[in-house]
Amino acid sequence: MTDVAVAPTETVPVQGSGPKRALKSFTSLLRQRPSAAVGLGILLFFIVLSVIAPWIAPHSTQNPSGPVYAGPSAKHWFGTDDGGVDVLSLVLVGGRVSLIVGAAATAVAMGVGGVIGVLSGYFGGWIDMLLMRITDYFLVVPDLVLMIVVATLWGPSLSHVILVIGLLLWTSTARIVRAEVKSVRERVYVRRARTIGAGHTTTIFRHVLPQVAPLLIANTVLSVAIAIFDETSLDFLGLGDPNGTSWGIILEHANERTAVSYGAWWTVVPPGICIAAVIVGCYLLGQALEDALNPRLRISHFAFRSWRLRPLVGLGKDAT
């Protein structure tokens, strides 16, 4: 028993259950941790921007609308690229692809990884061993190299990119889900449920999944960041969709078409900042979610500021 300053026998009641309660805890999380709010804000901003991109893009993304490698101006906020195409429009439209690829690849990874993780963690045995061996291998092989090889052999296309990224992402999700499922399975109330006769399906859906779901969501958000990062890298190496445009492809073109010699920083800076912003947003939100789900209220014993001494008011035993 720990001597906690708040009596454990009194608790704070929380109303509602299920989705309503989840929403309430989420909003309180946003209030308590500004980083989560910032992250969410950034993501929403870019999502909205991407959705309305075709309507707000000032110029065409295919046809030149200005001089080659012109610097930022009133007409072209981000200048033009080597073909005279407006960079701002490219960035806006490219954002759609980047976000879609990120989301799709993550969906693949979550789906496959989640299911395998749950089965492996819950049932153990040889399924688990097999999974562990496979994911051990994937963990050790350098991601980008494997993706490069597969993408090269398969041929560059949008769907290939999504699948290749998903192929590598599912392993870390599976491991995380497996670890959590294993730990939840050992919790007393789950064992109790099994003892009183609940079947596997019931146990998984009623007891295990509700505990695992929040962590899965946090992991999903973080995975989107990784997926976008990977997509950018693949694009840069020429393995992205040859006909499309995305932030990563804008960077690739900048490199390929000697933007450096022209000093055309405006073709490089905006897409990179957008990529970084989205990744930072995902990271902040995902980390905050993960931290919130690990409620180990540790008071750090390493106090870098000492406790404060208040002056003693009045004398005697019961100074109030």
146 lines the binding site for another protein (CB under 8 A): yes
Segment lying near another protein (by CB under 8 A), choices 49-57, 90-98, 185-193, 215-223? 185-193
Which residues have CB under 8 Å from 7's CB, separation 6+?
none
6 lines the binding site for another protein (CB under 8 A): yes
229 lines the binding site for another protein (CB under 8 A): yes
| Cα dihedral 272/273/278/281 (nearest 10) | 140
119-128: list long-range contacts, CB under 8 Å, 24+ apart. Answer: 120/174, 120/178, 120/181, 121/177, 121/178, 121/179, 121/180, 121/181, 121/182, 121/185, 122/181, 122/185, 122/200, 122/204, 122/208, 124/182, 128/178
Question: From the list 32, 60, 63, 73, which residue makes contact with another protein (rule: CB under 8 A)?
Answer: 32
Q: Which tokens in the block code for residue 16?
A: 């509602």
Nearer to another protein, 59 or 248 (CB): 248
Q: SS3 string of 91-123?
A: HHHHHHHHHHHHHHHHHHHHHHHHHHHHHHHHH
307 lines the binding site for another protein (CB under 8 A): yes
19 lines the binding site for another protein (CB under 8 A): no
Number of alpha carbons in the 13 Å side-chain half-sphere of residue 292: 24
207 lines the binding site for another protein (CB under 8 A): yes
| 3 phi-psi bin (left φ>0, alpha ψ -120 to 50, beta other) | beta
25 lines the binding site for another protein (CB under 8 A): no
Nearer to another protein, 59 or 181 (CB): 181
Segment lying near another protein (by CB under 8 A), choices 65-73, 100-108, 113-121, 233-241? 233-241
185 lines the binding site for another protein (CB under 8 A): no
Nearer to another protein, 59 or 251 (CB): 251
Nearest to 143 by CA among 109, 110, 114: 109
Cα 169 from Cα 161, distance rounded (Å): 12
136 lines the binding site for another protein (CB under 8 A): yes
Cα 54 from Cα 93, distance rounded (Å): 7
Q: Which of residues 41-60 bind another protein (CB under 8 A)?
A: none
Nearest to 225 by CA among 72, 43, 65, 57: 43
Nearer to another protein, 53 or 280 (CB): 280
298 lines the binding site for another protein (CB under 8 A): yes
Q: Which of residues 271-290 bind another protein (CB under 8 A)?
A: 271-272, 275-277, 279-280, 283-284
Question: From the list 19, 55, 125, 140, which residue makes contact with another protein (rule: CB under 8 A)?
Answer: 140
143 lines the binding site for another protein (CB under 8 A): yes
86 lines the binding site for another protein (CB under 8 A): no
Could you give the C-alpha distances from 61 to 82, 259, 297, 310, in angstroms and in order? 12, 18, 51, 66
Question: From the list 178, 236, 249, 289, which residue makes contact with another protein (rule: CB under 8 A)?
Answer: 236
Nearer to another protein, 35 or 65 (CB): 35
Nearer to another protein, 8 or 55 (CB): 8
243 lines the binding site for another protein (CB under 8 A): no
Q: Vertex 51, ends 47 and 53: CA angle to 5°? A: 110
Nearer to another protein, 125 or 305 (CB): 305
129 lines the binding site for another protein (CB under 8 A): no
